[in-house]
Structure 1
């Protein structure tokens, strides 16, 4: 999947987040679909490489309440803004995830990035702001 417009970016945010959290597909295959092999992902100052993203998917998949997500309980991605200009991307979005322990994780995400020539992601710089959620 190559990102070429705002709709593609919104689709990526939704699909990537969902697939990494609840899919049975191998995390490496998901990452390779959206990112070039030498990508850089900087989240809240921490640089995450491909292997670290793969390793992160396993505990996330154990914590997420998959049944609640399937029931449409408000979990998922809410896109506020997306922008694609040449090889530059930007988005502001909210992630809400119901966890198996009954709590909800919610964060607002501010993301900026650069695309490779094939439309896959080469670099992301993002910061998150945890939201207070009852739950």
Structure 2
């Protein structure tokens, strides 16, 4: 396996680095056959890109704080908090638990995650899967 991506790097590129377009950021960190399950709901490549594109319209900036990270062969796990400022000036934070499968090139092939909102408004609760 080549160098492995990380959730922090992938999310920073996808959500917060506006110098990189969504498709380029996706290709850098995820395989073409990527699938993700967030809080029990599956998304394919196109649905995930739709989700990230939506979030880029809602979020202005933020950061990813990794608390725990483990890589073992083609398996990846982490616990992180994503802190984001929305376009309306409000802030939101989610703790995310991730279990992932990596491709041989080190990109994510599949992620299963569970999100817990730590702060934010009631209407922000579904940001982890909003499209």
Q: Same fold (TM over 0.5)?
A: yes
RMSD, aligned CA: 1.9
CA distance in 1, matches of 2:54, 2:120: 21
Do residues 51 (structure 1) and 46 (structure 2) align?
yes
- The aligned residue for residue 72 of structure 1 is none
Q: Which stretches in structure 2 are left out of the alignment for 5+ residues?
A: 122-131
Residues 44-102 of structure 1: per-residue CA shift (max 9 Å, x gap): 1111111112222222112222xxx4xxxxx3111100000111110000001011212
Larger Cα-atom Rg: 1
- The aligned residue for residue 117 of structure 1 is 104
TM-score relative to the length of structure 2: 0.81
- The aligned residue for residue 16 of structure 1 is 10
More strand by share: 2
1:133: Cα distance to partner? Answer: 4.9
Q: 2:36–2:48: 8 Å Cα contact kept in structure 1? A: no
- The aligned residue for residue 118 of structure 2 is 131
More helix by share: 1
1:95 to 82, 88, 93: 82
- The aligned residue for residue 67 of structure 2 is 80
Runs of 4+ aligned residues of structure 1 deviating over 4 Å after TM superposition are: none
Aligned residues: 119
TM-score relative to the length of structure 1: 0.79
After TM superposition, the structure 1 = structure 2 runs for residues 50-69 of structure 1, keeping only pairs within 5 Å, are 50-65=45-60, 69=61
